[in-house]
Amino acid sequence: MIKHEADLSRVRPIVYILLFTLALVLLGGLAMWPLYLYWLPRPPAPVFEPLPVPPGQVRLQRNPLADLAGYQEREQQRLHSVGWVDREAGVVHMPIERAMDLLLERGLPDAEAPQ
């Protein structure tokens, strides 16, 4: 008669190891819960309350589109108007079309000869 090896596997130690591992995982998660609550992201500040800005820091624009429209309007007004840049030096700003007309009427100024 042929004899086979005896079954040496035991289920009970494997089940104990699995239960011990499960208990370790659950206890570890329970121990980490206070840290999770501590590091949980806080909700952002409400929009209507101004955020404190440290001195010397740049403030962001509240309405960039309105600021851009105002800037473009000021630039267009300056491009199409006449005014002093430096009164003492006799420097003015004027529309480019008017400057070209004056250049055609008066011609280019004489350049000084280099020394």
At 115 the pLDDT is 57
At 114 the pLDDT is 61
* Residue 5 domain-assigned (yes or no): no
Q: Which domain holds residue 90?
A: 74-106
Work out how many domains the chain is built from and give that number: 1
* Residue 41 domain-assigned (yes or no): no
At 25 the pLDDT is 96
* Residue 84 domain-assigned (yes or no): yes
Note every long-range contact of 96-104, with CB atoms under 8 Å and residues 24 or more positions apart, other chains counting: none
* Residue 67 domain-assigned (yes or no): no
Q: Write the pLDDT tens digit of every residue in 78-102.
A: 888 898 888 898 888 888 888 889 8
Q: What pTM value is reported for the model? A: 0.37
Q: Write the pLDDT tens digit of every residue in 30-66.
A: 999 999 999 888 887 777 766 677 777 777 788 889 9
Residue (of 74, 79, 78, 76) closest to 97 by Cα position: 79
